[in-house]
Amino acid sequence: MKIILASTFFLTAMTITGTAIAAEPAISDTEIKPSAPTLPIITDDTALFEQFGGREGLTKIMDDVMVRWLANPRTKPFFENSDQDRIKLQLVEQFCVIMKGPCEYSGRTMAEAHRGMNVNEGSFYALVEELQITLNKMDVPFRAQNRLIAALAPMHRDIIDK
Ligand code: HEM
């Protein structure tokens, strides 16, 4: 039930944030280098970062969810031949920055990282669903989950069908 609710929220968030972030630099702008502030920071309140267990908690989350992505037939083909440890580390950094934690993101932009991958919608939602299963398992409060997912939602346009 939680997953269904969060998925509905995700779709709504995609619609809302589509207009809400219009004034921000486009994440797909290839002129923006990864070190530039291309990631939306969703809070001034470090309580959110703490609700995910800080950097240590995010690392545990990525360890758990990568196993799920490698087991799910819709995400497995993308991750099985990739450098999983590097992706996990960059996801930790990315989520940490989004939650205004004390980190820097050293990876590429979402457009750069997913170019030529042909990720479709089904794979995108499968990835998010597996993440939600992990977040529930780790007892991350539902409201905190939704705040993260609302920040990830607008990234879909730089990831799907590229
Ligand atoms: C909101 C959703 C997503 C986020 C936040 C995200 C985030 C990231 C990040 C931070 C990286 C590392 C960047 C870098 O390599 O410099 C990455 C790489 C990667 N992502 Fe995603 N991603 C998302 C969706 C997806 C989906 C749906 C797939 C496939 C089903 C996918 C597959 C990959 C793969 C295979 C790489 C490694 C690319 C490489 O090594 O060249 N991602 N992603």
The residue whose CB lies within 8 Å of the most ligand 1 atoms, and thus the one to mutate among 14, 92, 99, 110, is: 110
**Helix, strand, or coil (residue 119):** strand
The residue whose CB lies within 8 Å of the most ligand 1 atoms, and thus the one to mutate among 66, 84, 95, 114, is: 114
CA of 45 from ligand 1 middle (Å) equals 26
The dihedral over CA atoms of 77, 78, 79, 80, expressed in degrees to the nearest 10, equals 30
**Contact in structure between 110 and 158 (CB atoms under 8 Å):** yes
Domains of the chain, first to last? 2-159 (1.10.490.10)
Phi and psi at residue 75, to the nearest 5°: -110, -25
Ligand 1 atom closest to Cα of residue 83: 40
Instruction: Calculate what percentage of the chain has a pLDDT beyond 70.
Output: 72
The band of 4, judged by pLDDT with boundaries at 50, 70 and 90, is: low
User: 94-107 pLDDT, tens per residue?
Assistant: 999 988 899 999 99
Phi and psi at residue 115, to the nearest 5°: -65, 135
156 is in an annotated binding site: no
Tell me, what's the pLDDT at 83? 98
Q: Quick check: 132 pLDDT over 60?
A: yes
User: 22-63 pLDDT, tens per residue?
Assistant: 333 444 444 433 433 456 666 666 788 999 999 999 999 999
The band of 8, judged by pLDDT with boundaries at 50, 70 and 90, is: low
Ligand 1 atom closest to Cα of residue 127: 27
CA of 73 from ligand 1 middle (Å) equals 16
